[in-house]
Amino acid sequence: MKIKESLYNVCLEIVNERHTKIQERFSEIQEAMLSETKSSAGDKHETGRAMLQLEREKIGNQLAEIQKVKETLYKIDSKWEATQGCLGSIVYTSQANYFIAVSVGKLIVNNDTFYAIATNTPIGKLLLGKKVGDEVTFRDQSFVIQKIF
């Protein structure tokens, strides 16, 4: 399926961009911590250093999260056709089209709009295991699954 490969590649590109930005920020903080020199205002130095350490920890957590997202994406076989909502499936509904993979938002591929969602999102959980013809209700709106692959 060309469309699935395209959606997969767009998701991978977005996730890789996010990963690169987080890594760059981590490197900046590391550099700032190394260049931080002891000044005559000792308390100010310690506060600045503590703030950098907190920021480094936060960025480290973001790096770990984005790595988990990449691992999820790597589990998808873009050539496999699904018969029900699952990781890697494309679900066409009467309301919107979904690519169940990772949460990267709205994607436009071949002039069609898709929402890349993770399996642990509210709509992702609703679509898991569903088949063509099933009706799903989300936020007081019902829609029917028209096609899955």
**Same domain as 107, residue 66:** no
Distance separating alpha carbons of residues 137 and 116, to the nearest angstrom: 19
pLDDT in tens, 67-92: 999 999 999 998 899 999 999 999 99
pLDDT in tens, 16-64: 999 999 999 999 998 888 876 545 455 666 787 788 889 999 999 999 9
**Same domain as 117, residue 66:** no
**Same domain as 8, residue 53:** yes
**Same domain as 25, residue 68:** yes
Torsion of CA 106, 100, 88, 110, to 10 degrees: -30
Among 74, 98, 132, residue at a domain's last position: 74
Distance separating alpha carbons of residues 57 and 127, to the nearest angstrom: 35
**Same domain as 11, residue 67:** yes
What's residue 31's pLDDT? 87
State which residues form the domain around 33.
2-74
What's residue 42's pLDDT? 59
Is the backbone of residue 70 left (phi > 0), alpha (psi -120 to 50) or beta?
Answer: alpha
**Same domain as 9, residue 61:** yes
Residue 88 CB burial class (10 angstroms; 0-12, 13-18, ≥19): buried
pLDDT in tens, 4-21: 999 999 999 999 999 999
Residue 80 falls within a domain, yes or no?
no
Is the backbone of residue 95 left (phi > 0), alpha (psi -120 to 50) or beta?
Answer: alpha
Among the listed residues 21, 29, 27, the one whose alpha carbon sits nearest the alpha carbon of residue 48: 29
